[in-house]
């Protein structure tokens, strides 16, 4: 008799979880609360203004949750931001475009947190020059904090602790109204924003987005980049609160049974790999609308600006009660993705002189917890 994905989980996963749910083994299946603590601790217990601002900035979205930011606080009232080079994604993001966008999200949250405290964050990007074709050891930004009694707090800042990249399936019975999309898009300041909730166009974009996703996970080197960053279970997530976190009794039960090993996840003929396909596809198939962000150029400064606008869109979606999740696979610049990269540009009417920086699905998803984060202390560079 054929065993469906759901039946496989019930038969194999369920039995393992029941076995693991007794005694001390249950401790390994609890939620990785310590890895989520930065969401609760933001702004709390820090006497240094810069550390308070950083405690909010580290909550920024970023590719594969790599959290590449490093801050130097050696000069009073100043922050110098760097990218930690070993947290880049050379296979799926060979030119560090997406990592740079994540750093832009970080800078926007830092600037909003500064304004909340009555300070203007004077940001000088790439003070020692823009690194190309990849980021390097030179600083990404220099930030000087200047007290400003006239500065206005950004109303979007109220959403920082509630903001999520909601990767769950969305409610297929609830469309996203055009008025909501207009409201969200209006939060951007520099980039060109477009969107659609037209059912036929959304359906076509779902197919294209999934084809790109499938290409990423069936290209061995890009798949390995992701699998190397998978953290399975509370212990692993709390030890390394970055990358792709998988937690919960079922996940840990499958892992204990040897059914969720890295080797199995890399083997495209394995049950573990095949079972994940419909799981990954379902969120894409439940997109109710799409939104995308374009810039006129593709300099490092353009990429930072794109990140600053993207987090503003994400915060605005949170304020509007709409879930949002970037689907960046078709925007990736590795060779195997090239046909879908071009197809997505054509589908979204991106002109030759424009760069498609972000593409995200929208809808109404379930409540989810904040993604794991490294504490502020670990993101401060001593020299």
- pLDDT averaged over 10-residue windows placed end to end, the chain, 383 residues: 38 38 47 95 95 98 98 96 98 98 98 98 98 98 97 98 97 98 98 98 98 98 96 92 84 71 91 88 98 98 98 98 98 98 98 97 97 97 76
For the stretch 39-76, what's the b/e string if a residue is b when 16 or more beta carbons lie within 10 angstroms of its beta carbon?
Answer: beebeeeeeebbbbbbbbbbbbbbbbbbbbbbbbbeee
Angstrom distances, CA of residue 250 to CA of 8, 9, 176, 351: 12, 8, 32, 46
pLDDT value of residue 6: 41
What's the whole-model pTM score? 0.92
pLDDT value of residue 183: 98
For the stretch 194-222, what's the b/e string if a residue is b when 16 or more beta carbons lie within 10 angstroms of its beta carbon?
Answer: ebbbeeeebeebbebbbbbbbbbbebeeb
- CB-CB neighbours of 258 under 10 Å: 11
Query: Are residues 143 and 81 in contact, defined by beta-carbon separation less than 8 angstroms?
Result: yes
Give one word for 9, left, alpha or beta, with left for phi > 0 and alpha for psi -120 to 50: alpha
Mention every residue, 6+ apart, whose C-beta is less than 8 A from residue 97. 298, 303, 333, 357
pLDDT value of residue 30: 67
Give me 380's structure tokens.
Answer: 């401060």
Give me 9's structure tokens.
Answer: 């989980």
pLDDT value of residue 31: 84
pLDDT value of residue 261: 85
pLDDT value of residue 383: 65
For the stretch 117-139, what's the b/e string if a residue is b when 16 or more beta carbons lie within 10 angstroms of its beta carbon?
Answer: eebebebebbeeeebeebbeeeb
CATH tag for 23-383 (out of 3.40.109.10, 3.40.50.970, 3.40.50.300, 1.25.40.10): 3.40.109.10
pLDDT value of residue 20: 39
Residue 120, beta-bridge partner list: 146
Query: What distance separates the 2 farthest-apart alpha carbons in the chain?
Result: 72
Sheet holding 78-83, edge to edge: 119-125, 141-147, 78-83, 69-72, 380-381
């Amino acid at each position: 008799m054929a065993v469906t994905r759901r039946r496989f989980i019930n038969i194999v996963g369920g039995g393992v979880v029941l076995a693991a749910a007794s005694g001390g083994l249950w401790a390994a299946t609890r939620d990785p609360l310590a890895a989520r603590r930065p969401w609760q601790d933001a702004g709390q217990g820090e006497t240094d203004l810069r550390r308070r601002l950083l405690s909010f900035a580290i909550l920024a979205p970023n590719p594969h949750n790599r959290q590449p930011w490093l801050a130097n606080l050696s000069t009073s009232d100043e922050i110098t931001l760097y990218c930690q080079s070993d947290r880049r994604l050379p296979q799926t993001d060979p030119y560090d475009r997406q990592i740079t966008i994540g750093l832009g999200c970080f800078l926007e949250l830092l600037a909003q947190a500064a304004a909340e405290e009555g300070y203007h964050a004077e940001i000088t990007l790439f003070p020692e020059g823009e690194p190309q074709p990849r980021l390097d050891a030179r600083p990404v930004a220099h930030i000087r904090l200047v007290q400003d009694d006239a500065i206005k707090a950004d109303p979007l800042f109220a959403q920082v602790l509630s903001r999520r990249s909601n990767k769950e399936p969305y409610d297929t019975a609830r469309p996203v109204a055009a008025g909501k999309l207009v409201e969200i898009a209006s939060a951007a300041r520099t980039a060109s924003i477009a969107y659609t909730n037209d059912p036929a166009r959304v359906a076509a974009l779902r197919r294209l987005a999934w084809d790109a996703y499938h290409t990423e996970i069936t290209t061995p080197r890009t798949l390995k980049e992701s699998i190397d960053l998978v953290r399975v279970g509370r212990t692993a997530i709390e030890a390394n609160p970055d990358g792709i976190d998988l937690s919960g009794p079922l996940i840990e039960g499958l892992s204990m049974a040897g059914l969720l090993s890295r080797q199995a996840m890399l083997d495209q003929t394995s049950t573990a790999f095949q079972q994940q396909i419909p799981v990954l596809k379902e969120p894409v198939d439940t997109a109710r609308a799409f939104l995308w962000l374009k810039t006129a150029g593709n300099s490092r400064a353009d990429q930072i600006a794109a990140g600053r606008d993207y987090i503003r869109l994400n915060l605005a979606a949170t304020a509007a009660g709409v879930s949002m999740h970037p689907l960046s696979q078709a925007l990736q610049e590795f060779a195997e993705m090239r046909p879908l990269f071009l197809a997505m540009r054509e589908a979204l009417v991106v002109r030759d002189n424009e760069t498609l920086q972000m593409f995200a699905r929208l809808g109404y998803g379930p409540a989810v917890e904040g993604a794991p984060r490294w504490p502020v202390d670990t993101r401060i560079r001593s020299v």
